[in-house]
């Protein structure tokens, strides 16, 4: 499903965290948001998720204005640090949550949960509670939970940051697989890791100080950075 941000502006008190963002992510497309810390990447993602309310602008999913729709009713998969696991539910029940909410048949829920836990290498932790897991393990469960419902829109906020290199490579493979399995999924991927952005994204959007500075197909952005800022950011120590 297509995601559209139209002139989306977000303030936290006096801080303008996002200024007039216009961005369309087509069905089947992955757009990575890259940029320095504090440039508004997470805020953009949270606005689409519905965790923060824009002071101006509209958000549409599949053409429907969802600006005033609560997060749980937007039908999207979200992995952000703030959207933690349900602490009172076991790992398997966390992953099953969205499927049960969608009233999927019991056998399908069981199968899908097993499949997702296997994917993130957490099968042996199915009966544990989130507090019994490390940060990286919780992140893996959060990814399994988000993907379980095969969401038409997936928002990922630096989802691999807490994972070690091998697991990061595995999860990147899984995300690429998801793109093949759900060809219509629109993914917004916030990352500080250029290699991840290149591996996954069709287009890369570069943010700076609450604004979008450049957006281009990933290869083009590297071959011919459209601005001096993007050239120096991509060439930097990141
Ligand atoms: P990024 O994801 O690019 O690191 P953020 O979107 O998290 O950037 O932050 C953009 C700006 O908004 C920063 O100046 C940050 O300090 C500010 N900000 C983000 N969230 C909040 C909040 N909940 N309250 C106040 N300021 C915030």
Shortest-distance Cα residue to atom 11 of ligand 1: 17
How would you list the strands of the sheet with 64-65, edge to edge?
Answer: 15-25, 3-12, 56-61, 64-65
Shortest-distance Cα residue to atom 26 of ligand 1: 12
Q: Can you tell me the mean pLDDT for 214-218? A: 96
Closest C-alpha among 182, 224, 221, 181 to residue 201: 221
142-169 pLDDT per residue, tens? 888 988 888 888 899 988 887 788 888 8
User: What pTM, to 2 d.p., does this model score?
Assistant: 0.88
Q: Which ligand 1 atom lies nearest to the CA of residue 40?
A: 6
Shortest-distance Cα residue to atom 7 of ligand 1: 42
Q: Which two tokens stand for residue 50?
A: 């519905």
How would you list the strands of the sheet with 211-217, edge to edge?
Answer: 77-79, 153-157, 186-190, 30-34, 203-208, 211-217
Give the three-class secondary structure for 142.
Answer: helix
ipTM of this complex prediction, to 2 decimal places:
0.98
Q: Which ligand 1 atom lies nearest to the CA of residue 43?
A: 6
Q: Is the pLDDT of residue 83 over 80?
A: no
User: What's the length of the chain?
Assistant: 238
121-142 pLDDT per residue, tens? 899 999 999 999 988 788 889 8
How far from chain centre, in Å, is Cα 101?
Answer: 21
């Amino acid at each position: 499903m297509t995601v559209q941000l139209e002139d989306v502006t977000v303030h936290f008190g006096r801080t303008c965290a996002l200024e007039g963002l216009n961005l369309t992510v087509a069905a089947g497309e992955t757009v990575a948001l890259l940029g320095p810390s504090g440039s508004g990447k997470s805020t953009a993602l949270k606005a689409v998720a519905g965790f923060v309310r824009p002071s101006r602008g509209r958000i549409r999913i599949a053409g429907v204005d969802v600006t005033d729709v609560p997060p749980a009713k937007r039908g999207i998969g979200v992995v952000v640090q703030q959207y933690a696991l349900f602490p009172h539910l076991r790992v398997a029940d966390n992953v099953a949550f969205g499927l049960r909410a969608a009233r999927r048949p019991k056998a399908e829920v069981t199968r899908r949960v097993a499949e997702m836990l296997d994917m993130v290498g957490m099968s042996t932790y199915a009966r544990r509670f989130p507090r019994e897991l490390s940060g990286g393990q919780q992140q893996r469960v959060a990814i399994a939970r988000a993907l379980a419902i095969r969401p038409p829109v997936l928002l990922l906020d630096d989802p691999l940051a807490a994972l070690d290199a091998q697991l990061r490579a595995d999860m990147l493979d899984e995300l690429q697989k998801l793109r093949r399995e759900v060809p219509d999924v629109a993914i917004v991927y916030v990352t500080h890791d250029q290699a991840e952005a290149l591996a996954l994204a069709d287009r890369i959007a570069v943010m700076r100080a609450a604004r979008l500075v450049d957006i281009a197909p990933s290869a083009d952005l590297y071959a011919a950075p459209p601005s001096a800022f993007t050239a120096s950011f991509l060439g930097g120590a990141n």
